[in-house]
Amino acid sequence: MLDDFHYARAQSLEHALALLEEHQPRARVIAGGTNLLVNLRGGRDRPEFVVDVSRLGDELGRIQRRDGSLEIGSLATLTDVARSEVLLADSAARLLALSAREFANPLVRNRATIGGNIIDGSPAADAVPPLLALDARLRLVSRARGGRVVRLADFYLGYRRSVLEPDELLVAIEVPAAEPRTGCGWYKLGLRQSDAISIVSAACVLTVDGDERCANVRIGLGAVAPTVVRATAAERVLTGARLDEPSIQAAGNATSEEVRPISDVRATAAYRRLMSGVLVNRTVRQALRQATGEQANGR
């Protein structure tokens, strides 16, 4: 039995923001509940007030393409994301849909929201490396100050800490539409094939230029630092370079040198260091294959 709390169901975004403003900082938002209820059960969180936004999916759960970008509502479930034709049709954003297929398990995916995964802020959060690689922007709203846009790269301050104010709600995530000749790659390493906390995860978005050199690359790495991070050393090795065996290997090696993971119940730091290089290698290859050869859409 969980400790009790006050509860209100938000009837609209405005209502949710009013409730957050009134009850901050002791309020928590519940959407899918797949993190919050686990934290409550484990005694890691004891909110006084819970604001339920789970019925705002019509307003905040859509995935759509507008002009040069794709917008994902924060209440889109991981199932919605995994199946989104809008995302799958974009040669970069499909990365998010592909990673969502391996997120937790189908029961959790039917409830967990992409916004919840971002806000929970685990360094192993599986939606975050793809979004970092996609250069995502977050739209945050409060009643007092209105809306603001924060780059995901600037969002986390440290382990499970972010710039989100107690009266703010994450309403949408925006990623730019893919450039031509762009591909993506995803690899999640876990102790089993489903329902696993990532030991290391890697997400890569790569654009090639006319000379088959790397015009642009972004790689997100999960579970190797207090927050999800970019594989900046690998990115430096690859940007502008010929995308051949030596350069990709060098990128992987640079990653292993750069990361400072911890040892925990799932893996040692040494294993994570080694695997981060392997995963960068694999995801860069995946992205390159897609960028240079195959069709962008389809599964």
Residues ≥6 apart with Cβ < 8 Å to 164:
119, 140, 155, 170
- Distance (Å, whole) CA 211 – CA 143: 50
**Judged by CB, which is closer to another protein: 114, or 178?**
114
**Min. distance of Cβ 104 from another protein in angstroms?**
7
**Min. distance of Cβ 5 from another protein in angstroms?**
6
**Judged by CB, which is closer to another protein: 34, or 122?**
34
- Distance (Å, whole) CA 265 – CA 202: 20
- DSSP reduced 3-state for 278: helix
Q: Give the x-and-dash track for 48-67 against another protein (CB under 8 A).
A: --x-x-x-------------
Among 15, 62, 65, 111, which residue sits at the site for another protein (rule: CB under 8 A)? Answer: 111
**Judged by CB, which is closer to another protein: 71, or 102?**
102
Q: Give the x-and-dash track for 192-211 against another protein (CB under 8 A).
A: -xxx----------------
Distance of CA 181 to the CA centre of its chain: 23
Nearest CA to 139 out of 176, 164, 113, 112 is that of: 164
Nearest CA to 219 out of 145, 137, 129, 97 is that of: 129
Task: Verify binding: residue 106, another protein, rule CB under 8 A.
Answer: yes
* Residue type present at position 196: A
- DSSP reduced 3-state for 191: coil
**Judged by CB, which is closer to another protein: 9, or 236?**
9
The size of the interface with another protein (CB under 8 A), counted in residues, is 31
Rule CB under 8 A: which residues touch another protein? 1-7, 9, 30, 32-34, 37-38, 40-42, 50, 52, 54, 79, 104-108, 110-111, 193-195
